[in-house]
Amino acid sequence: MNGPLLHVVATILTILVVASVAGFVLARRAGDEKARATIHNLNARTRSWWVMVAVLGGAIWAGATTTILLFALLSFTALREFWTLTPARRGDQLALFLSFFVVLPIHFALLLDGWYGLASIFIPVYAFLILPALTTLSGDAKDFLARSAKVQWGLMLCVYSVSHAPALLLLDTGTPSSLLLVYLIVVVQLSDVFQYVWGKLIGKRRFAPGISPSKTLEGLIGGGLTAIAIGVLLHGLTPFSPLEAAGVSAVIVTAGFFGGFVLSAIKRDLGAKDWGYVIEGHGGVLDRVDSLTFAAPLFFHITRYFWTV
Amino acid sequence: MTALIRRVLILLVRFLVGARADWRGCAPSTAQRIYFANHGSHLDTVAVMAALPWPVRRLTHPVAARDYWGRNAVLRWIAETGLRAVLIDRKPVRGEDPLGPAAAVLERGRSILIFPEGTRGSGEEMGPFRGGLHRIAARFPEVELIPVHLDNLQRILPKGSLLIVPITCTARFGAPIRLEEGEDRGAFLRRARQSVLDLVA
């Protein structure tokens, strides 16, 4: 294990241990009902973090194939959550079946194969043209434009965007590509965690109550700055200089904000609080990867354009 | 070997339809029960079975239509061996109780799962309940009747489609009901149907 990675692993484990111990102590002290509910949710989140760190860390450690397959499974679950909440008509059955069982597997197979050129256009060109074309065969024109957009948006968010995270493994920047993935995920997720922490500690001004009621301006700024600082500290995982790492982290954090907002806006539009239930305390997979949907493609393209050999 | 295949079957169903259990009105229990659910697609039997925890599942026998599940050797094997189903004739010989095989299972102290609509409704609307549930309730008054509502099944596998869309199906288990003293057949069946409808979202 190289130096910076050892630091990351040690730090993550330390944070989890501290969070678990703090949660245990707080749970004993919690007085009223509301505080107890908050602590209960906090502890559920921490427990889930242990599992997520173990699963993702294990997959990355096992290698590129395992990591890509894990993300394929996450995409599948995210897409299931998307379509469980999003209404569809009988005429969309074929397009949805193909989204899950043909488009998603082909896209990830292209990544496994390392065929970047086709992987980058397969969904946004071919799937986007073919699926609406096949839907016309059902003869149902009601809400056709909106229905096609939903099919496309579902694939774009849950499959195409998210897949840019494991696609980092295809990049040759002169440093181990798995560390780029670790870097992206640590900065994105810690940005979310610290937004939550700062928001709970000093949050006052609601940022966008109509979209995401719990997000505050103080949380956004505090969480964003903390995540950028962590991004600078971890520059050793990447080919970036400390200053470059600050810039790249700022992009990741900003994109992550908007990923979270856009997914929240869709959730509100569909009248749901959480996307799913598979991750205790967090909701669904889509609740956890929402910031990644926007941050991963940007991070991928910046790194690929400026730093690949 | 059979146990392994059963396990794989349940995992496959959970992967395909989520099959999440939501215990609204009662807790999972190995006590003898009669589960009755709305009928959404051919997947409903497997969806409820996959949602039940293993200790409950192994004591529960779904009641399934022979004209579908007995159609060929594979389906029949999945039903009888994989799901421990009892197959019944929906159009029985005159004078015979179509639910006879289900009653026999209850006599042995096991639980059953039945679909009182008898046939899959065409739309979103749940059909009226047939009399079988009332006959069973009258014959086994001491057994709890648990309403079960399955959502999304029509979207996962609509009638006439062969294509599965693997969205999440949630099985909601409601509070037990019983046949009241002096309650007539129609009133009981309407109340039972309403107890399933009350579980919608």
B151 has a pLDDT exceeding 70: yes
Mean pLDDT of A95-100: 97
For residue B182, is it left (φ>0), alpha (ψ between -120 and 50) or beta?
Answer: left
B120 has a pLDDT exceeding 70: no
Mean pLDDT of B154-174: 89
* Domains of chain B listed by start with CATH number: 2-7+21-197 (3.40.1130.10)
Under an 8 A CB cutoff, do B18 and A93 touch? Answer: no
Q: Does B164 reach chain A within 8 Å, measured CB to CB?
A: yes
User: Which of B152, B165, B168 faces A97 most closely, judged by CB atoms?
Assistant: B165
Check residues A280 and A253 and name the one with the higher pLDDT: A253
Under an 8 A CB cutoff, do A80 and B155 touch? Answer: no
CA A19/CA A45 separation, integer angstroms: 10
CA A174/CA A151 separation, integer angstroms: 38
Contacts of A76 in chain B (CB under 8 A): 166
> Residue B123: its pLDDT value, please?
58
User: Which of A83, A94, A277 faces B167 most closely, judged by CB atoms?
Assistant: A83
> Residue B122: its pLDDT value, please?
57
Residue of A86, A92, A93, A275 best to disrupt the B interface, most CBs of B under 10 A = A93
Mean pLDDT of B179-183: 88
Stretch (H or E) spanning A46: helix A33-62
Contacts of B163 in chain A (CB under 8 A): 93-94, 97
A118 has a pLDDT exceeding 90: yes
> Residue B158: its pLDDT value, please?
84
Contacts of A96 in chain B (CB under 8 A): 165
B91 has a pLDDT exceeding 90: no
Backbone φ and ψ for B9, nearest 5 degrees, come out as -60, -45
Backbone φ and ψ for B84, nearest 5 degrees, come out as 55, 40
User: How close B41 gets to chain A, by Cα (Å)?
Assistant: 14
Under an 8 A CB cutoff, do A93 and B161 touch? Answer: yes
Question: Between the CA of residue B42 and those of B74, B90, B154, B161, what are the distances in Å?
Answer: 15, 15, 10, 11
CB B147 within 8 A of CB B188: no
Under an 8 A CB cutoff, do A84 and B163 touch? Answer: no
Any idea where the domains of chain A sit in the sequence? Answer: 1-62+171-309, 64-164
Question: Between the CA of residue A14 and those of A11, A73, A178, A232, A279, what are the distances in Å?
Answer: 5, 28, 22, 19, 22
Per residue, the 3-state secondary structure of B32-71, as one string, reads CEEEEECCCCCCHHHHHHHHCCHHHHCCEEEEEEHHHHCC
Under an 8 A CB cutoff, do B168 and A276 touch? Answer: yes
> Residue B110: its pLDDT value, please?
95
Return the beta strands (E) in chain B as ranges: 20-23, 33-37, 60-65, 86-88, 111-114, 144-150, 170-173
Residue of B165, B169, B170, B172 best to disrupt the A interface, most CBs of A under 10 A = B165
A170 has a pLDDT exceeding 90: yes
The CA dihedral of B185, B191, B196, B197, to the nearest 10 degrees, is 130
pLDDT band with cut points at 50, 70 and 90 for residue A204 = confident
CB A248 within 8 A of CB A265: no
CA B48/CA A101 separation, integer angstroms: 24
CB A158 within 8 A of CB A213: no
> Residue A273: its pLDDT value, please?
86
User: Which of A81, A100, A277 faces B165 most closely, judged by CB atoms?
Assistant: A100
C-alpha angle A76-A81-A84 in degrees, rounded to nearest 5:
120
Chain A, 236 to 295: residues with Cβ < 8 Å from chain B are 276-277
What's the predicted TM-score (pTM) here? 0.90
Neighbours of A162 (CB within 10 A): 25
A84: nearest CA partner in chain B: B167
**How high does pLDDT run on average in chain B?**
89
